[in-house]
Each structure stands twice: as structure tokens, then as C-alpha cells.
Amino acid sequence: MKTTLIAALGLAVLATGAARAEGQMTHQTKQREMSATAPAEARFELGALVIENPFSRASLPNQPVGGGFFTVTNTGTEDDRLIAANAAPEMADHMEIHEMAMDGQVMKMRELPKGLPIPAGETVQLKPGGYHLMLMGLKQPLVEGETVTVTLTFEKAGSIEVPLAIGAPNAKGGMGHGSPVGQGQMKHGG
Ligand SMILES: [Cu+2]
């Protein structure tokens, strides 16, 4: 009697374990499938770096540039630096790493010639109105709901390809390239 009970329990435990494993696998597969369309789920690891929620914004007609944004956390003990970003040649002429800052009353953006420092133990956000990637010389429109793949290169961690999920022209709000202020007053330095 006891043996039967223990055996039954054992089976139940085994069954639960199997169900859990299956559940996890389904969940992981779903996450991978969804990463292109659900920026909230997107997470990429590269050495000590964790890159989350890479996204872009749909371009307006004849818009010559496009933005790229993500959050990067340096979980390591060594400072790193984002030194380059690249897109396919059919997508854009080239890419730059930009910062935005007020110059008097005018919001200007300029290229960071030495790249963007990612200090050890810190999280750096690239977001509309702040640091961002810029696709220069867009060769095709950025379409909401699609993705554009970019290669990010870090000084220490190396390179990784990430898909930027393309949101609405004003995705994530803030003062961005698509805002009226941006259209009128933002100027590229250098
Ligand atoms: Cu810019």
C-alpha cells in the first residue's frame, strides 16, 4: 500500500516536472518569436553587457534620418564603450552615435566622436531626446511594426546584431526627431 502511494507520488512529481519543463520551453520559444514585434520582451546579452528594448520609430515621408534607442547595462567591473553602429547598406548610408543637448534655446544633436561610455555597474539609456543612434541617409522608409537590424560594436564586449523594433513616429514620447520642436529647431552639428 505504502509502496503504491510513494510510486504514485513519484509519478505525480515526474509528471509535474515534465509539464513545467514543457511550459518553460514553450515560453522561451514564444519569447524568441516575439522579440521582433514586442520590444518589451527583447533582451540581448553580450559579455558583461545586457541590451534591452532596442527600438526605432517609423519615418515620415522624405525623412532623411532615423533614430535607434535601447537600454544597456554593464554588469561587469570594467568600463566599456559603444564605439560603432552599422546597418545594412541598403538601409542607410551609415550610422552615427549622437547626443542631444540644449545650446541656448535650441536643442541640438551632435555626433559623439569617441562613442558612448558604458561605465562598469551602470545602466545607460539611449532614448528620444537623449543619447541615440542615428541612421544617416535613410535609403528606405522605417515602417511601423517591422524591424531594422543594426550591429552594435563595443570596445571590450565586441559586436552584436540586434533588431530595432520600429514603433510609431513618436514611440516612447519625449522630445524626438519626429516632434514639431525637433523638425524646426534640431540641427545636426559637425
Ligand atoms: Cu541624431
Q: What is the DSSP string of 114-133?
A: T-EEE-TT-EEEE-TTSSEE
* Distance of CA 36 from the midpoint of ligand 1 (Å): 23
48, 76 Cβ separation under 8 angstroms: yes
Instruction: Please give the CATH number for the structural domain made up of 39-188.
Output: 2.60.40.1890
| pLDDT at site 64 | 96
Q: What is the mean pLDDT of each run of 10 residues along the chain (190 residues)?
A: 46 44 42 45 94 96 96 98 98 97 89 97 96 97 97 98 96 46 40
| pLDDT at site 101 | 84
* Distance of CA 65 from the midpoint of ligand 1 (Å): 8
* Distance of CA 189 from the midpoint of ligand 1 (Å): 9
* Distance of CA 95 from the midpoint of ligand 1 (Å): 10
Strands 106-111 and 187-188, sheet pairing: parallel
| pLDDT at site 188 | 52
Residues 6+ apart with CB under 8 A from 153: 82, 83, 84, 85, 86, 159
* Distance of CA 99 from the midpoint of ligand 1 (Å): 7
CA distance 2 to 99: 71
| pLDDT at site 17 | 43
Domain ranges of the chain: 1-34, 39-188
* Distance of CA 64 from the midpoint of ligand 1 (Å): 11
Which residue, 133, 112, 116, is CA-closest to 189?
112
Which protein residues have a CB closer than 5 Å to ligand 1 (ion)?
Answer: 98, 109, 134
* Distance of CA 125 from the midpoint of ligand 1 (Å): 15
